[in-house]
C-alpha cells in the first residue's frame, strides 16, 4: 500500500467545512502576510477566458495565448501536460482551504503550508495554474510532479512562455515546495501583480524582466459555447504527524 494511502486511512473523515472558521481576507490590499502568503484580490469574471486545451480551466484572458503556446510546445516534445486548477475565486479558495477539516481554523496554519487561505491565493488573480502530468503514477498536486517528464520540462522551458515557479524548494517565503504551481508574468500588468512577491521571494526558475512584454500576445478564442466553470476542486488533508499531504479529491478532475 502506498504511503499516501496509509496516511489517507489515518485521516479524519471528510466533513463539511465551517466557512466562518476561515481567516477573513484583508479588507484592503496590503503587504501583510497570512501564514506566509501574500494577499491577492480576485480578478473580475469578465477578464477571464476558458483555456481551450484545458477543459474547466479559466485564466486571465491575456495569459491564455501563452498557456496554449506552452502546451503546444510540450506536445511537440511528447510531453502530455494537463491542469487541475487555474483561476479560483476567493469563495472557491475557501472551499479548497477548508476541505476535509472539521474545524478549519484549528488546522489553518499547517494547511497553509501548501494551500493559501482565501484572499491570499495567486489563483484568484487568474494568472496561476496547477499543472499535472497526464498518465503515470504521480497524483495531482504532489511533489512527485517534479520528477515527471512534464514537471522537468516545465523547469526547463516554462519561462519561455512567461511562467515562473512561485514556490520553489526551500523558498524564503516559508510556503511548501509546489513544483506544479506556476504563475504567468508574461505581460507587464501581470508582472506588476506579483511585484511584492518577486521583490522578497524570488521565483525559481523566474522570468527575466526583459522577457516580460508590455502587451500580451494574441488572444486565443475558446470554442463557441464554451462555458467552463473553472476547476481546481482538490482537497488538502493533514496527517496526524503534522505533515501536510495534498490529495486529489475527485477522480473526475484527474486528467
Collapsing DSSP to helix, strand or coil, 218 comes out as: coil
Cα gap 236→96, rounded to integer Å: 7
Q: What are the grid coordinates assigned to 248, written together? A: 486529489
Select from 151-159, 173-181, 220-228, 235-243 the region that touches Zn ion (CB under 5 A).
Answer: 173-181
- CB of 181: closest distance to Zn ion in angstroms? 4
Comparing CB distances to Zn ion, the nearer of 78 and 170 is 170
| Binding-residue total with Zn ion (CB under 5 A) | 2
Cα gap 228→245, rounded to integer Å: 28
Check residue 88 for interaction with Zn ion (CB under 5 A): no
- CB of 232: closest distance to Zn ion in angstroms? 8
Sheet holding 128-133, edge to edge: 81-85, 128-133, 181-184, 163-165
CB-nearest residue to Zn ion:
181
Select from 92-100, 129-137, 151-159, 190-198 the region that touches Zn ion (CB under 5 A).
Answer: 129-137
**DSSP conformation class of 183:** E
- CB of 65: closest distance to Zn ion in angstroms? 20
- CB of 10: closest distance to Zn ion in angstroms? 25
Q: In 161-210, where does DSSP find H-type helix?
A: 188-193, 195-200
Select from 59-67, 102-110, 124-132, 209-217 the region that touches Zn ion (CB under 5 A).
Answer: 124-132
What's the distance, CA 123 to chain centroid? 6
Print the binding letters for residues 175-194 with Zn ion: x by CB under 5 A, - otherwise. ------x-------------
- CB of 85: closest distance to Zn ion in angstroms? 6
Please count the residues of the chain.
255
- CB of 224: closest distance to Zn ion in angstroms? 29
Q: 129 has which bridge partners?
A: 182
Interface with Zn ion in residues 37-76 (CB under 5 A): none
Instruction: Give the H/E segment covering residue 131.
Output: strand 128-133
Comparing CB distances to Zn ion, the nearer of 111 and 181 is 181
Q: What are the grid coordinates assigned to 49, written together? A: 477566458
Gyration radius of the chain's alpha carbons: 17
Comparing CB distances to Zn ion, the nearer of 53 and 166 is 166
Comparing CB distances to Zn ion, the nearer of 102 and 116 is 116
Work out which of 130, 167, 185, 187 binds Zn ion, going by CB under 5 A.
130
Block residue for cell numbers 502576510: 33
- CB of 125: closest distance to Zn ion in angstroms? 11
Q: How many CB atoms lie within 10 A of CB 97?
A: 26
Task: Note the residues at the interface with Zn ion (CB under 5 A).
Answer: 130, 181
Amino acid at each position: 500500500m502506498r504511503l499516501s494511502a496509509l496516511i489517507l486511512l489515518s485521516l479524519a473523515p471528510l466533513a463539511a467545512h465551517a466557512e466562518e472558521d476561515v481567516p477573513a481576507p484583508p479588507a484592503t490590499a496590503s503587504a501583510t502576510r497570512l501564514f506566509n502568503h501574500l494577499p491577492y484580490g480576485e480578478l473580475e469574471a469578465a477578464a477571464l477566458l476558458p483555456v481551450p486545451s484545458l477543459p474547466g480551466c479559466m485564466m486571465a484572458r491575456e495569459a491564455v495565448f501563452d498557456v496554449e503556446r506552452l502546451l503546444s510546445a510540450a506536445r511537440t516534445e511528447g510531453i502530455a501536460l494537463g491542469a487541475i486548477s487555474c483561476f479560483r475565486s476567493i469563495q472557491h479558495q475557501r472551499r479548497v482551504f477548508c476541505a476535509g477539516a472539521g474545524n478549519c481554523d484549528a488546522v489553518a496554519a499547517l494547511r497553509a503550508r501548501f494551500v493559501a487561505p482565501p484572499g491570499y491565493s495567486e489563483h484568484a488573480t487568474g494568472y496561476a495554474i496547477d499543472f499535472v502530468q497526464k498518465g503515470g503514477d504521480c497524483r495531482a498536486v504532489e511533489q512527485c510532479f517534479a520528477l515527471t517528464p512534464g514537471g522537468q520540462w516545465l523547469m526547463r522551458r516554462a519561462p519561455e512562455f512567461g511562467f515562473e515557479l512561485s514556490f520553489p524548494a526551500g523558498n524564503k517565503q516559508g510556503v511548501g515546495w509546489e513544483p506544479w504551481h506556476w504563475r504567468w508574468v508574461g505581460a507587464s500588468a501581470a508582472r506588476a501583480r506579483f511585484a511584492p512577491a518577486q521583490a522578497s521571494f524570488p521565483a525559481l526558475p523566474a522570468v527575466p524582466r526583459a522577457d516580460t512584454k508590455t502587451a500580451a500576445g494574441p488572444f486565443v478564442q475558446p470554442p463557441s459555447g464554451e462555458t467552463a466553470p473553472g476547476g481546481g476542486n482538490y482537497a488538502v488533508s493533514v496527517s496526524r504527524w503534522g505533515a501536510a499531504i495534498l490529495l486529489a479529491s475527485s477522480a473526475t478532475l484527474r486528467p
